[in-house]
Amino acid sequence: MNNLTHINDKGEAQMVDVGDKVATCRVATASANIKMAERTLRMIVDGKHKKGDVLAVARIAAIQAAKKTSDTIPLCHPLMLTSIKVDLQADWDNCCIQIKTLCKVSGQTGVEMEALCAASAAGLTIYDMCKAVDKGMVISDIRLETKSGGKSGDWARD
């Protein structure tokens, strides 16, 4: 038997059947960074970008991405998220925006992918809005930080 839940015994992709699982409270957090030139970070923080409030748009993009994760990741289940939080902080020492997301659901499957998609979308949106002034930006360290709930229990990055 295969240990990968999204691959059947024939090696074919499948959506996992969660119909018999008990609904529990599930929470996941994720993070990412987008490194940029200091002048780009200053422009974002000071709200001087001609396209508007970069952080507000990135926050909305992250929320929308979490809500639409199953439209982007083929084997994800559509979820009725009960909470999405997005925190965007300027890190002057590393000249980047630190992105942190939290997704929550009461359901039969986890929200790790939703939190990861939210963090990714925030970084991509910042890049999109600022690419005209800084094509050298780097989105990095997209990663799950914590997850709780469900059969596998709690997990946290060391």
Residue 6 falls inside a structural domain: no
* Residues tagged active-site: 128
79-93 residue pLDDT tens: 999 999 999 999 999
Residue 106 falls inside a structural domain: yes
Residue 24 falls inside a structural domain: no
Residue 18 falls inside a structural domain: no
21-61 residue pLDDT tens: 777 899 999 999 999 999 999 999 999 888 889 999 999 99
Residue 92 falls inside a structural domain: yes
Number of independent structural domains in the chain: 1
Residue 87 falls inside a structural domain: yes
CB atoms near residue 44 (< 10 Å):
24
For the record, the structure tokens of 64 come out as 């929308």
Residue 3 falls inside a structural domain: no
* CATH code, domain with 124: 3.30.70.640
What is the pTM (predicted TM-score) of this model? Answer: 0.89
Amino acid 1: pLDDT: 44
Environment class of residue 98 by beta-carbon count within 10 Å: exposed (0-12), middle (13-18) or buried (19+)? middle
Range of the domain at 44: 29-147
